[in-house]
Structure 1
């Protein structure tokens, strides 16, 4: 037998003992742990105890039933890690080039084509210790606005009929007629707005 054939057989025998990456279905995940332990059912029926690995700054807790890719570290199933997961039951539909974060409840942040970012949820809470600033030529609200503190506007404020400055001008120039026996008007208000 040639050396080449012997090396090929030896490599094949070694490779046969090394577990390759596999697909499975997530059965359980404890996302409260720093390196979340998980149980996965392999598509060949095996049960694996693995860990969920994710990129720094990104955290997700896939639901039981999600499909996963398990990479056995060192080729051993006992040391496997989940390196990817997807759940077609809840995945939102994307156009080529789009990106989204989403949950099973329908909440999502969707970076759409045409430079549109869509955020869908029931309640959006932004907590900022110093300030929230919007830099935009226009801000639109379709519902009511409630401000629990003071409000300040560098420009004029209008209700769509007249601006606050126009109301001030009317108030500051107004008089009351017929208040004296001769029928003369009062002077404009002493305290201007």
Structure 2
């Protein structure tokens, strides 16, 4: 009797699709076309991402596919890896990156940004602002006392 029940349970479990790995055949940020085991094709599989984060998953990325209620037709993607660009981070680090080589990398010594920075709003600093030639304070220090011949220094100083 117990053997028969065990066989029925195993048969039932065999009909429930377990989580599996696949590859992205057509990329996207909401729905993907995937290839699974034995070259099966899964169409319009929903990509589940964290709130506040959205990324376009490129072709040939590896994905974790979860068949909801054990049904392949109701699958979702919950994790991805292996795009053309992959960043390896050290312990404690976090990196947000794209496939164009841009990144925001949170490291122990601070935030590193690779690529152009476009800001729509104020930029405020509690310390000095530097570029390759010097600092904003050095500009002030040079401007405030400067004169042209016998003319007086600027009437409005840079603060």
- TM-score normalised by length of structure 2: 0.82
How far is 1:93 from its partner? 2.1
Whether 1:82 and 2:77 are equivalent positions in the alignment is yes
Runs of 4+ in 1 over 3 A off after TM superposition: 165-168, 170-173
Q: Which of 10, 14, 17 is residue 16 of structure 1 equivalent to?
A: 14
Q: Which residue of 1 aligns with 2:120?
A: 127
Gaps of 5+ in 1: 146-152, 174-191
Aligned partner of residue 125 in structure 1, secondary structure: coil
Q: In 1, Cα distance between the equivalents of 2:28 and 2:133?
A: 40
Whether 1:158 and 2:141 are equivalent positions in the alignment is yes
- Whether the 8 Å contact between 1:25 and 1:43 is mirrored in structure 2 is no
Q: In 1, Cα distance between the equivalents of 2:152 and 2:31?
A: 71
Q: Which residue of 2 aligns with 1:41?
A: 35
Answer 1 or 2: higher relative contact order, Cα 8 Å, separation at least 6.
Answer: 2
CA deviation string 1:113-133 (max 9, x = no partner): x23211001x211102xx332
Larger Rg: 1
Q: CA RMSD in A?
A: 2.8
Structure 1 pair 9–25 and aligned structure 2 pair: CA distance change class (3 A)? same
CA deviation string 1:127-179 (max 9, x = no partner): 02xx332222x21111699xxxxxxx99x8123xxx513649x7449xxxxxx
Larger relative strand fraction: 2
- In the comparison of the two structures, how many residue pairs are matched? 152
Structure 1 pair 68–143 and aligned structure 2 pair: CA distance change class (3 A)? farther
Q: Which residue of 2 aligns with 1:188?
A: none
- TM-score normalised by length of structure 1: 0.69
